[in-house]
Chain A
Amino acid sequence: MNVSLFGLFSVFVILLFIAGTYSILVTFNLIRALIGIEILIKAVTLLIILAGYLTGNLGLAQAIAITLIVIEVVFMVVAGGIVLSIFRHHGTIDTRNLRDLKG
């Protein structure tokens, strides 16, 4: 099988995307939804680094990946705080039981 480095990595990036999206779509647990988002972000990070490696511009790719990681951390901290607040108010993190925001 003759597959380039780009082909090999991009196939696995697509598979990571499928796993992350499936996780978000199927679960009702808010923490699992966050884990799904985290998997999607990891796929994007890998794609950015791969693009930088293949175009020879790893400096820019790493700078963007670092920015992405910083945003990812802040997002996870705030989202984790929101999940905890929801748990304190409702006693559950199952989205089927959270109906207070419904129109």
Chain B
Amino acid sequence: MNDVEDDKLIRLSQQGSVEAFNALIERYQKEALNIAFRMLGNLLDAEDVCQVSWLSAWKSIRNFRGGSFRAWELSIVSNACRDELRKRKRKRNMETSITDCSLPSTDGFTDDIVLTREKVEAVQKALLQLPYEQRLAVILRVYGDLNYKEISKVMKCPLGTVRSRLNRGLYYLRDLLRDGESL
């Protein structure tokens, strides 16, 4: 299944093939997990969100009408992240998640660590301080590698709004990093 193209896997999944859908999960799970983690700042929550998103994607795969599967899946992940953040807000745990931004141990990182742990934590904390919409736009652009058109579809907003959210988000992030002397 690893060599099969996305389109075929999607078609098979729509016909009810769990194996094909699991191959799609394998292909995109790393990206989905990274985006969920950047949005939430907590690995356990990110894993839960991913599990929920994949189940939800499986249930609605028949409604997928072509286009970018990655963008479609990431929109499900971003919706699940929004729900998780709302849940947290209800529990009034938002402050805890920002201050106790729980990065996994260095075993969880796959790249060679170029940045120091302090810097990584500072960037993650700064990301979590961005307003939700700006954070999502920045994360989808940088970690989802989506273009502006795809981001506008995921966020269900016009292209101009994506531009301004990204611009504001990056300026805000830069200022936060400068204040924390990480830039």
The answer to whether A and B assemble together is no
B residues touching A (Cβ–Cβ < 8 Å)?
Answer: none
A residues touching B (Cβ–Cβ < 8 Å)?
Answer: none
